[in-house]
Each structure stands twice: as C-alpha cells, then as structure tokens.
Amino acid sequence: MTDTSMEKSPSLSPIEKWITGSVLLLLVYSAWARGGTNVPLQWFLPWLGLFLFAVPFVTSWFYRTGDKSQVYGLKLARNIIKDPVFFLGALFLLLLLTQWWNAGRFYIYDVELNCWRYSDPRVASLPSAVTKMDAAEMLRWFFPAWAVLIALRSGFITARAIMIILMGLTVNASIIVLFGIFQYMTGTQSIFWIVPLKCHFFASFGYANHAGAFFVLMLSVALGILVRSCFRSYRKRKFSKSTAMSIAMCILLLAGANLSLSRAGIIFSWILVVFAVGYAIWVLWHDMRRSVRLNLIVASAAVLCIGYFVVAGFGKDLFRESLEEIRIEETEGEVSERFWQTDAAVRIWQDNKWFGVGGWGYRYFCLDYVDAEMRQRANGIGKANVHNDPLQFLAEFGLVGFLAMSGGLLCLFVPIWRKGIRFIGKPWVLYPLLGLTVVFMHSLVDLPFRSPAILYHWLVILVAIPYLDEKRKEIKCQIKIK
C-alpha cells in the first residue's frame, strides 16, 4: 500500500481525486435517497457502484509517472487480486446472483404433507430466493458496498483522501439534519413533502431507528474531527474556524439523533457525547494550565447546554407525544416479538443451512415457524425483519453468504487489530471506533444494516480507522494515559 502520511502526500493524485469524488457521490446519494431503502431510488446505486469500480482502472490507465512511464492500471489490478476482500465479496455476489437466477417460488398446497408451503426452486440444489424482485434488491444493496471497499483498498488512497471523505460525509449529514429540522418546522406529514407517511420520520429517513443509527454513527466521526481540530487550536494557541465548524456539526448531529425519536439513537448519542467530553478532559488534564482547564470545562458545559436546548427547543412537542404513546404493555409486547422472531430465524436457517432462503426470504417463511396462537398475534406487526441483522443475514444467505461477509469484515479489522491499544490514547481514532461498535450493538436488536446508506457509511469508516492513526504535521502532541 502506498505511503499514507500527510507529509509525503501534500496533494491528491488524479486517481485519489476520482476515487474520493466517486465514494462521496455514492454515499451522499444513498443518504438522501431515503437511506437507500426506497426501491425506485435504489436503481441508481448499482450504476454509481459500477462507476466507482471502473474509475480507478480508467484513471490509473492514463496516469503515468517516472522515467519508465509505468502504467498504474496493472499495479492496481495486482493490488486488487491480492486482496481477499475482492474474492470474498465476489463469492458473496455470486451467491446473490444465483439466488436471483433461481428465484420464483410459489405458495402451494402440498397434498402429501397436507399443508401450505413454498414450492421448490427451479434447481433445488442451488441457492434460490422467493422472488426475483427481492433478490435483485440485494444485488443493488451489496454490489456498491463491494465496489467501495475495492476502491478504498486499492493501494492508491492516502490519509489525506480519507480525511476529505470523512469530512465530506460529516458535512453532508449535518446538512441533512438542517433539512430535517426545516421539514419538521413546516408541519408536513410527507417525506420530502411528496410521499405521505403515517409513522414518524425525520429528514431523508422514513424509519426512525435508521435515522437514529445514522446520526449516531456520523456524530462519532464529528467528535473525532472536533478533538483533532481542538488539538491543532491548542497547539497554535488560537481558536480556529474549523473548530467552530466541528462544534456546530456535533450539535447538529446530536440534534438529529434525538429528533429521530429513536430510543437507541437518543441514548447512544448522549452516551457518546458525555463520554467524549469526559475522556478528552481526563487524558489532557495534567498537560493543561489552570486557565486552559477552566476554559475547557466552561466550553464543554456550554456545548452540552446548547445541544440540549437545540434538541429540546425543536423537539419538545415531538418528545411529549412520543412519551405519551409509550405504554408498558406495548414495550413488553415489543420485547416478546423480538424473541419469537429470533427463534423463527434460527429455525429457518437450520432448515436452509448452506444457502439460506434468499434476500427478504425471512418475511415469507417466518409465520410457518410459529404456533397458531403466535401466528394470529403476529398479524399486522412488522415481521419483514428479524430485528437482528446478523441473524437475518444468516437465515437469508446461509453459512456460505454469512461466512463470506464475516471473512470480509475480518480482513477489514486486521489493520485495526495490529494497532491495538494504541488507539486508546488517540480520541480522534477512538470515537469513530466507538461509533462503529454502538451501531453494531444496535444491529443486534434492530435493523440499521437494512439501510444501504448506513451500511456504506459504516464500512467506509471501518476502512478509514487505520488511516486516522497516521502521523500528521498538524498533530504533534501524543496523549499519554496518566
């Protein structure tokens, strides 16, 4: 991989510029396109993914340097072929493609078994899905994710490009919050003032928990950017515009996580903010003069108060209505629903161990794995998802698909594992890593990764973590745990 230090890469190469722009285009579009969950808006995702996949090859083919005029397209191809993520992703996409080709199962009455069931696929021994439409949606979700990973792991990306991507994504998320606040202030009951929705929605996300998870994830990145900017300002003894901008983004993203009315989003966002402020003060306390300590405490308290009043000011009525709707009986029912859905998903996987039942297949089979009483109670509730993303992926893609996905993630974690405990003393790395962890924890009780936008942002931040640990001219102070 190329040297990722800022000192040796003062400006982006043509390849980096194209990759950076293409990644931002894909992720920004997915966030605005209702989180990538709206089927008509999904059709642009694979085309943007294909463009991103082709961009490094096209630009590198014409980008030559040195006396020998080396063609970088060949080097790029070698880097990709050596990357296990390329082959694991290709295997997973092949599984999805086979499920799409072999889809087309119908609900029939089996006279021999004396029950209703789904017919066998065209080729019983091959992976399949219930409908081609559902299987095609999985391809639209995951092909762009694979293209993003290949582009960012191609060996031509530096820490500078990664920081531009993260900054661009954070600014975009902040703009989405501003849009959401404006949309809410107009009193509309339709997302984008076009599509009526009966449930609560915020900004470009039609599902509250997707909005909450997205803004919590981006809040963790904004906190990392803020602490990096504060270190620069502390070193230069001057409050910079970038620090003010970072504070504004943190306040907006905190507001977005709370105005989503996602219980997990509200809890996780405040935990992140309180931890980030407390941790930064703790690790820097002994290295500060008394005047700086006092200023830091006052500034932190001011930021927290501003964040609270922004959230309370715009969302007072929303929070009151939301609290009034919460009932103990409803909460207990929601918890019990999680248990039967989890049990059904496990049983579906046990009957389809290797290849699963295809994308979105859980919703077709789940009621066949519960008793008659639960089947009657389950009518009318959200049973399209397990509310446990890893388990739903296992049930729908089987061991083959699940291991391919897990193997790819393991490859992304290897660079982070190698750096290990060094991250503890570097808040600008630790905070985004905590954001990734929080969203993953959320996925065990809900469905954040059923939103392509959250999936893409999560993967990009995961790839970015090792780059954030690179030495930079702007940050010369190393934090030591006292």
For residues 209 and 254, is the Cβ–Cβ distance under 8 A? no
Nearest of 432, 423, 474, 467 to residue 224 by alpha carbon: 432
Q: Note whether residue 102 is domain-resident.
A: no
In a domain, 363, yes or no: no
List, in order, residues 6 or more apart from 458 with CB less than 8 Å away: 217, 436, 439, 448, 449
What is the pLDDT at residue 463? 94
Domain membership flag for residue 377: no
Give the domain extent around 254: 14-83+153-326+426-469
Position 420 pLDDT exceeds 50: yes
Residue 416 located in a structural domain: no
More confident residue, 309 or 432: 432
Mean pLDDT of the chain: 81
Judge contact between 203 and 180, C-beta under 8 A: yes
412, part of any domain:
no
Residues 250, 226: contact at Cβ < 8 Å?
yes
The overall pTM is greater than 0.75: yes
User: Mean pLDDT over residues 427-441, rounded?
Assistant: 91
Residues in the chain: 482
Residue 369 lies in a domain: no
Structural domain contains residue 112 = no
Q: How many domains does the chain have?
A: 1
Is there a contact between 455 and 45 (Cβ–Cβ < 8 Å)? no
Going by the DSSP 8-state scheme, the letter that residue 109 receives in this structure is E
- The answer to whether residue 304 is domain-embedded is yes
pLDDT of residue 479: 34
Mean pLDDT of 18-37: 94
Each residue of 317-372: pLDDT tens digit?
555 555 445 444 444 445 556 678 888 899 999 999 999 999 999 989 888 887 76
CB-CB neighbours of 347 under 10 Å: 16
**Which residues face 118 on adjacent strands?**
107
Alpha-carbon Rg for the chain, nearest whole angstrom, is 24
